Amino acid sequence: MMKTVYLTMIILASIQTVGLSQGKTDGRAEKGDSVDADSLEYRLVVLDPGFETWLLTRPPMNYYSNDYYMRKNQLYVLEWNGRYVSSNQNGLYDNYIDYNPRTDYGLEINYRLYYFFKYFEETNHLKLLDF
């Protein structure tokens, strides 16, 4: 039985406007999962209640570089969006992810997005990518 994971593509509609919220900031770093970049704030919200606890069992954020996470996220997003477009799997891929590979969302956002995909794979017992 597959479990639906709720990222409620706040990343998805996110990087468009919903999940990764974009807004002016006063330049101070905020606590949590947001990153300031050129006066924009990006936020990734995973609504599945098990994600935060699961994430604590993963390697620390700086285990890989931001470039590593960005490269992997680009591949994951391409696969995810391909499945979203062609999917008839009852909401597993229920949102399109608008991830711009030319935008640096910062280490924390890229780390969380990368591990969201890993979490999704683990909890749904499927692989998005073969590497």
pLDDT less than 50: residues of the chain: 1-32, 36-37
Which pLDDT belongs to residue 26? 43
Q: Cα separation of 73 and 37, whole Å? A: 18
Which pLDDT belongs to residue 37? 43
* Contact present, 44 and 52 (Cβ < 8 Å): no
Is 99 exposed, middle or buried, given 0-12, 13-18 or 19+ CB atoms closer than 10 A? buried
Which pLDDT belongs to residue 93? 86
The tens digit of pLDDT for each residue in 60-80 reads 999 999 999 999 999 999 999
Q: Cα separation of 6 and 91, whole Å? A: 10
Which pLDDT belongs to residue 71? 97
Which pLDDT belongs to residue 33? 55
Query: Where are the chain's structural domains?
Result: 12-124
- Per residue in 27-53, is it b (16+ CB within 10 Å) or e — as a string? eeeeeebbbeeeeebbbbbbebeebee
User: How far, CA to CA in Å, does 2 sit from each of 45, 83, 122, 123?
Assistant: 22, 16, 10, 8
